Amino acid sequence: MNKVESTIKQVLDNGDLIINKIDKNQSRDFLCKKSSYEDKLFEKDIKSLVEGALVKFTPKITETGAFANDIELAEKRLESTIKKILDDGNFIINKVNEKQGNDFFCKKDSYKTSLSEEEAKELKEGDAVSFIPKFIDDKCFANELKLIRKNETKSCVAKEELDTKALTDMFFANLESSLEKIYSGSDFEDFTFFVLKSLGISEIYAVPKHNAGGRADGIFKVSSVSTNGHKLEVIYDCTLKPTSVWEQEKMIQINNYESQIIRSSTNINYNFGSTYSGKIVKQTISFNENADKQIWIITKGETRLIEDKQSPDILIKEISIYDLMKLMRERYLDSAFVKSDEIADNLKNLGSKLIK
């Protein structure tokens, strides 16, 4: 069980501790027996177990009461700014959030050992400081005050270099882990749509699932900067079924996709449902006769050209989702400017050789 934090409410004469409850719905405060910590903590830590001290512990709530086990000091330093320096050398430090009722009070005696004489003289209102908080009833105290110097903060920030490769590795490790847990065709469609969009394909249409019977899962087009037209047009379908199964099931559908992609346009009906007007919106997608046209069956298998019987203007391919993710990764790591023409070429050349 994870440890929780609270403050000591009372130290009993026998050394037992009463610790404030952590939930307003909790009926009792926690009891921490002296016998549970006296042999586990150093003597200096035991002396710090005073009223208002912040502690961490493992809670145990039973019918007989609420108990705190494995107690330890939680010397969590807070950061804030000096609000006012009093004539007697004591400080008022700004509270760290709006929920806190009062500002922190810092006694002169409490920072004599944590600050040098020179630092203490230099302190002024508005300076950033860190401290260990102590709460007693509705009073807030700041102990072991330390000055946060601006140049120290900047030097710490400068040392932290952003490692984009590490970020990319982490992102794709999580992405691959998510893919391995996908067993639903609908989830695989959504995952594929995400990957295609992340590749920089701006014009992509996912066919609504409620209206997808016998239809492809989506259509995308990649424009050409050099010709100011569409360079690649793809009708794609997603499946998690084995090759031997989907090849038999989808041949008629593939023939239909071929017929669609050579038309001048096709329509997709989007039903926005009751959250809007419930109106069916018809989206017309135009095709360019000069664009390269391909039919993709996207799977977890291998990328390959699966049929060479069609018109040379239309290629039918099985495309591995892993190869699309590989392209996506390369694009993330490439710091050079990438034209949409290059993206189109990368996608167009996937599975360019026939595997028999």
Query: For position 111, which CATH number holds?
Result: 2.40.50.140
Give the structural domain span for 300. 164-349
What's the total number of domains in the chain? 3
Write the DSSP symbol of residue 349.
Answer: T
Q: Answer yes or no: is pLDDT of 335 > 50.
A: yes
Chain-centroid distance, C-alpha 24: 31
Q: Answer yes or no: is pLDDT of 153 > 50.
A: no
> Considering the chain, what percentage of its residues have pLDDT values greater than 70?
82
Q: Are residues 170 and 37 in the same domain?
A: no
Q: Answer yes or no: is pLDDT of 125 > 80.
A: yes
Q: Which of 193, 198, 202 is nearest to 168 (CA)?
A: 198
Segment 64-71 mean pLDDT: 90
Q: Are residues 177 and 321 in the same domain?
A: yes
What contacts 263, CB < 8 A, 6 or more positions away? 287
Q: Answer yes or no: is pLDDT of 157 > 50.
A: no
Instruction: Answer yes or no: is 159 within a domain.
Output: no
Q: How confident is the model at residue 76 (pLDDT cuts 50, 70, 90)?
A: low
Q: Answer yes or no: is pLDDT of 291 > 90.
A: no
CB atoms closer than 10 angstroms to residue 325: 18
Of residues 252 and 153, the one with the higher pLDDT is 252
Q: Are residues 345 and 235 in the same domain?
A: yes
Residue-level pLDDT at 274: 41
Instruction: Lowest mean pLDDT of 10-14, 101-105, 136-140, 162-166, name the range.
Output: 162-166
- Alpha carbons 31 and 60: distance in angstroms, whole number: 10
- Alpha carbons 16 and 34: distance in angstroms, whole number: 5
Segment 1-29 mean pLDDT: 85
- Single out the residue in 73, 89, 120 at which a domain terminates: 73
- Single out the residue in 53, 73, 93 at which a domain terminates: 73
Q: Answer yes or no: is pLDDT of 159 > 80.
A: no
Q: Which of 138, 144, 5, 124 is nearest to 78 (CA)?
A: 144
Q: Are residues 198 and 89 in the same domain?
A: no
Is pTM beyond 0.75 here?
no
Amino acid at 239: T
The pair of three-digit structure tokens given for residue 65, joined into one six-digit string: 């009461």
Segment 105-113 mean pLDDT: 82
CB 6 within 8 A of CB 20: yes
Instruction: Lowest mean pLDDT of 76-80, 127-131, 234-238, 241-245, name the range.
Output: 76-80
Q: Are residues 182 and 206 in the same domain?
A: yes
Q: How confident is the model at residue 273 (pLDDT cuts 50, 70, 90)?
A: very low
> Considering the chain, what percentage of its residues have pLDDT values greater than 90?
22
Q: Are residues 93 and 220 in the same domain?
A: no
Strand, coil or helix: 317: strand
Chain-centroid distance, C-alpha 270: 30
- Alpha carbons 350 and 324: distance in angstroms, whole number: 9
Most confident by average pLDDT, 73-87, 266-280, 287-301: 287-301
Helices H, strands E: what count in the chain? 9, 18
- Mean pLDDT, the chain, rounded, equals 81
Residue-level pLDDT at 74: 75
Long-range contacts of 313-322 (CB under 8 A, 24+ apart): 313/262, 314/258, 314/261, 314/262, 315/352, 316/254, 316/258, 317/350, 317/351, 318/243, 318/351, 319/236, 319/350, 319/351, 321/179, 321/188, 321/191, 321/192, 321/195
DSSP codes of every residue in 59-95: EEEETTEEEEEEEEE----EEEEEEEE-TTS-EEE--
Write the DSSP symbol of residue 207.
Answer: P
Segment 324-329 mean pLDDT: 92
Q: Are residues 37 and 142 in the same domain?
A: no
Q: Are residues 56 and 18 in the same domain?
A: yes
Segment 285-299 mean pLDDT: 89
Q: Are residues 121 and 180 in the same domain?
A: no
Q: Which of 310, 280, 263, 260 is nearest to 211 (CA)?
A: 280
∠ at Cα 66 (63, 70), nearest 5°? Answer: 130
Q: Answer yes or no: is pLDDT of 154 > 50.
A: no
